[in-house]
Structure 1
Amino acid sequence: MKGSANPGLAVAIAALAADKRAVGYKYDAEEWVLARFEAFCRAEFPGLETVTKASAEAWITAARERGVRPATLQGLAAPVRELARWLGRRGTEAYVLPARMLPRPARYVPHIYTDRELADLFAQTDRCRYSSEAPFRHLVMPVLFRTVYACGLRSSEARLLRPGDVDVSAGVLQVRDAKGGKDRQVPVSGPLRERLGGYHARMAGQPGWEWFFPGSAGQPLALLNVYKNFRRFLWQARISHGGRGHGLPRPRSKTHVRGQQPADMVRRRRGRQRAAAGPAGLHGPFLDRRHRLLPEADRRVLSPDRRPRPARVRRHRAARHRRAAPWRLTSRSPCAASSPPTWPGSAAAHPARSPPTATRSSS
């Protein structure tokens, strides 16, 4: 019967999510995608207990008909592919979607904000007004986006901070259960520390203050709420940016804007590499293949003024098809055009010299 329950896929999805969480993955978004796939199979392929080629291709076709982007299409296909692999490891025949059947998404290029853009953005957050639906929004937004920028936090990490995670006296943030399930401590600058202290003093007396940046109904700020406010502040600041709202990338220097590295930074970096590598560059002669410094004795042997180099033959390492013939004559050799190549150590390379004949000079 169409629309009947499908305990096979549901149980497999729950077991896969449990295995992923046991090794440290959150696996919330992937489990949600698999739940949608299970509902899709229950409606289109009733009684199906595994991933088949027809169900997987129909899932991809339905997503393409909705006009999703290539990155979204990859996000819908990857959990289904992992479910099929998980079923195959347990003896159940399942169809694994080929990795290259979907178009590759375009590489995301982050927007590097200039000092003027950041000042305009923070000015718009300071103009955020009171809202009865979110009574603390005008207090939260100026501090939230400054914390994300100054501390290099993800939006998901900042919105899940609790009052006990912010040590105003020491100027340290405790980020818990971040990416990979890890915790870390983040120092706070002096100006941000003063702003956090003022915000903490105003929010400390509020009833039910469980989250440092509270949302509605005693819950933390929703990620979609943060993103919509971020887009609104960008529009009000007249900043044209169609990217993500996951963080605020900041320039490494005053001239490092919009993803471009200034020439002086590139020169300094290359100079540091040459200084660390020695006179002959990154791979020698004073460094081995693993970039480790050679002993003093080896350095004397391999120094450029002591290392013997043949004048007319050199090692050829460029073309792979010439590896069978590691030596070749250079164009500077006087016998390269007329004589066949000679190999080091052969009789032709070192012909026997005839004794010099005595010539009688005419007086």
Structure 2
Amino acid sequence: MSEFFFRSPLQEHIQAMIHQKQSLGYKYDISARSLFKFDQFCVAYGCTEPHISKELVQAWIQKRPNEAQATLQNRIIVVRQLAMYMNRLGVQAYLVPKNIMPKGPRYIPYIFSNEELAALFKQANACHYRPEVPDRQWIMPLLFRLLYGCGLRISEALHLKLRDVDLESGVLTILDGKFNKDRLVPLSAELLQRCHAYMKQVHPFSDVNAYFFPAPNGRAVTHNNVYKNFRNFLWKARISHGGWGKGPRIHDFRHTFAVHCLRRWVLEGKDLTAYLPILKTYLGHHSFSDTSQYLRLTAELYPDITAKVEQAFGHVIPAMGGDGLETN
């Protein structure tokens, strides 16, 4: 359940909807925070009844100075979801029309080439000690290889604890991933060897509850610290960056992993109708459509296999457009 304290007349409906979403497997953390801000807005607006009026919504969805389009879109979406939830209960709530919601640009992942990956890993290998992350020279080379080699989300990698890393079986246990789905991720022989060497350097006497990628305060290395290192490695590897929000992004290691897997399988003549469910499970996707988006992307990026993909597997390639690929 959310850790936020709601105070507006809508508090019961907000809390009930958050509970419903999370019970269905959605983390709903960011949306819960947006609903908390909406609850605060309702208090400041002077709401006295457990209803959502058109005037309240119109005031809430006004674009704020310097507000990113994605932030505004999220604010509109959460209040629309709340109104739909309340309407289903027979409670009066103004529903924002779909056509007024701003459409964000299609997210286009950056797929690293093998040469770019080699250059990035070379820079990660060359990093050295820094006070904020004393084990930086050990953490960064392995962390970025895990992101690519296992297709992990950065949050999943940073949440790993020693008990989740089984070096005997060579398997990572990803707990509470996206949609609260746990899964097992096998390590390649090379990654397993690197994990053994890493453990000797960073965790010779650590408790099983210690974070696999630790910060000096006993918690995990922060996403912000990893991002700073990522930008530094990109610059030293001479891989251009489009600026904040444009990429390449840390999450693109995961996209690259998926695309490289699919390209290799196509070139090897594998039956993708059999292999896509494997990739879906490996990545921890919620639905098959999430995974099949990578098939379209693979065909777009590699002209040498486009004809082969369309001829043999066109029936599983999603139409252009759609909801797009995950961004976190």
TM-score (norm 2): 0.73
CA pair 116-163 structure 1, distance change in 2 beyond 3 A: same
Please state whether the residue corresponding to 1:100 is helix, strand or coil: helix
d(CA) in 2 for partners of 1:112, 1:185: 25
The within-5 A match list for 1:157-168 is: 157-168=156-167
- The answer on whether the counterparts of 1:24 and 1:181 sit within 8 Å (CA) in structure 2 is yes
Deviations 1:274-306 (A, max 9, x none): 9x9xxxxxxxxxxxxxxxxxxxxxxxxxxxxxx
Is 1:25 aligned with 2:26?
yes
Alpha-carbon separation, structure 2, partners of 1:85 and 1:273: 38
Q: Secondary structure, in 3 states, of the residue corresponding to 2:312?
A: helix
The amino acid that maps onto 1:261 is: L
Shift in alpha-carbon separation, 1:238–1:54, aligned structure 2, 3 A: farther
Mapped partners of 2:116, 2:298: distance in 1? 11
Which structure carries more helix by proportion? 2
Partners of 1:166 and 1:182 in 2: how far apart?
A: 17
Match of 1:83 in 2: 82
Q: Is the 8 A contact 1:111 1:259 kept in 2?
A: no
Report 1:163-242 matches (<5 A): 163-207=162-206, 210-241=210-241, 242=246
CA distance in 1, matches of 2:120, 2:188: 19
* 1:245 pairs with one of 250, 254, 258: 250
Aligned partners of 2:88 and 2:212: how far apart in 1? 44
Q: 1:148 deviation in Å?
A: 0.5
Report the CA distance between 1:260 and its aligned residue: 4.3
Whole-Å Cα distance in 2 between the matches of residues 192 and 111 of structure 1?
A: 23
1:267 aligned onto 2:326: no
Unaligned runs of 5+ in 2: 1-5, 268-296, 316-328
Greater relative contact order (Cα < 8 A, sep 6+): 2
Corresponding position of 1:121: 120
Distance in 2 of aligned mates of 1:259 and 1:158 = 29
Cα gap change, 1:103 to 1:196, in 2 (>3 Å) = same
The superposition leaves residues 50-77 of structure 1 with CA deviations (integer Å, 9 ceiling, x where unpaired) of 322222222221xx23233332222121
The Cα shift of 1:145 comes to 0.6
Residues 315-356 of structure 1: CA deviation (Å, up to 9, x unaligned): xxxxxxxxxxxxxxxxxxxxxxxxxxxxxxxxxxxxxxxxxx
TM-superposed CA distance for 1:218, in Å, is 1.9
How far, CA to CA, are the matches of 2:200 and 2:313 in structure 1? 49
**Structure 1 contact 175–185 (Cα < 8 Å) conserved:** yes
Q: Note if contact 1:45-1:55 (Cα within 8 Å) is conserved in structure 2.
A: no
Query: CA-atom RMSD, angstroms?
Result: 2.8
Deviation at 1:204, TM superposition (A): 2.4
| Kept after mapping to 1: 8 A contact 2:211/2:220 | yes
Relative to structure 1, is the Cα distance of residues 38 and 271 closer, same or farther in structure 2, using a 3 angstrom cutoff?
A: closer
Partner of 2:155: 156
For residues 158 and 273 of structure 1, the distance between their equivalents in structure 2, rounded to whole angstroms, comes to 32
Q: Distance in 1 between matches of 2:313 and 2:182?
A: 33
Partner Cα separation in structure 2 for residue 180 and residue 87 of structure 1? 23
- Spell out, residue by residue over 1:15-42, the C-alpha distance to the aligned partner (whole angstroms, 9 max, x if none): 2212222222222111101011111222
| 1:6 and 1:48 in contact (8 A); partners too | no
Runs of 4+ in 1 over 4 A off after TM superposition: 206-209, 257-260
Quote the offset at 1:212 in angstroms. Answer: 0.9
Rate the CA distance shift 1:264–1:73 in 2: closer, same or farther, 3 A.
same
Determine if contact 1:112/1:258 at 8 Å carries over to the other structure. Answer: no
Residue type at the aligned position of 1:265: I
Distance 2:250 2:299 in 1: 17
Is residue 59 from structure 1 mapped to residue 60 from structure 2 by the alignment? yes
Structure 1 residue 163 displacement after superposition: 0.9
State the alpha-carbon separation in 1 of the partners of residues 168 and 88 from structure 2. Answer: 53
Q: 1:153-189 CA deviation, whole Å, 9 max, x = no partner?
A: 1111111111121122322212122122222222211
Q: Structure 1, unaligned stretches of length 5 or more? A: 277-363
Distance 2:48 2:199 in 1: 56
In the alignment, the residues of structure 1 paired with residue 227 and residue 127 of structure 2 have an alpha-carbon distance, to the nearest angstrom, of 15
Q: Distance in 2 between matches of 1:85 and 1:216?
A: 45
Aligned-pair distance for 1:87?
1.9
What is the deviation of 1:192?
1.3
1:271 shift after superposition? 4.2
Alignment check: 8 A CA contact 2:8 2:39 kept: no
- What residue identity is the alignment partner of 1:30? S
Check conservation: 2:299, 2:309, Cα contact below 8 A. Answer: no
Residue in 2 that maps onto 1:306: none
Match of 2:270 in 1: none
Specify the code of the residue in structure 2 equivalent to 1:269: V
- CA shift, 1:89, in A, is 2.3
Q: C-alpha separation between the residues in 1 aligned to 2:49 and 2:251?
A: 38
Counterpart of 2:20 in structure 1: which amino acid?
D
The Cα shift of 1:226 comes to 2.7
Deviation at 1:144, TM superposition (A): 0.5
Whole-angstrom distance in 1 between the partners of 2:299 and 2:233: 22
